[in-house]
Amino acid sequence: MKKILVACGAGVVTSTSAMNKLQEELTNRGIDSDKYTLGQSSVAQVESLANDYDLVITTTQYDNDAIKIPVINGLPLLTNIGVDAVIDDIIDKLDLN
């Protein structure tokens, strides 16, 4: 099971919206929820939590060379502009097919 961390500024509202959209899009592509699990945090917590996850999705700009797992900009999950490319990237990086 792949573990995905979704992070936003405060770790509550925006990341919840992004998680809901992510689940919807993965379901639409036929990816069962038993293949992944989601966690939620603020961007300030990402570095300390990253070792427990396979992928991080942030809704804000985030650069940290200490993170050794893929970090994807998840803003399209909120705007619906470019969401297909983000979902493709997530599926590819986690090998969810």
Report the CATH number at residue 37. Answer: 3.40.50.2300
pTM for this prediction:
0.94
* pLDDT of 73 above 90: yes
Q: What is the DSSP string of the chain?
A: -EEEEEEESSSSHHHHHHHHHHHHHHHHTT--GGGEEEEEEEGGGHHHHGGG-SEEEESS----TT--S-EEE-THHHH-SSHHHHHHHHHHHHT--
Domain ranges, residue 64: 2-94
Q: What per-residue confidence (pLDDT) applies to 94?
A: 94
Does residue 8 have an active-site annotation?
yes
Q: Which of 8, 22, 55, 75 is catalytic?
A: 8
Q: What per-residue confidence (pLDDT) applies to 64?
A: 86
Query: How do residues 46-70 score in pLDDT, each as one tens digit?
Result: 999 999 999 999 999 888 888 999 9
Mean pLDDT over each residue of the chain, to the nearest integer: 94
Domain tally for the chain?
A: 1
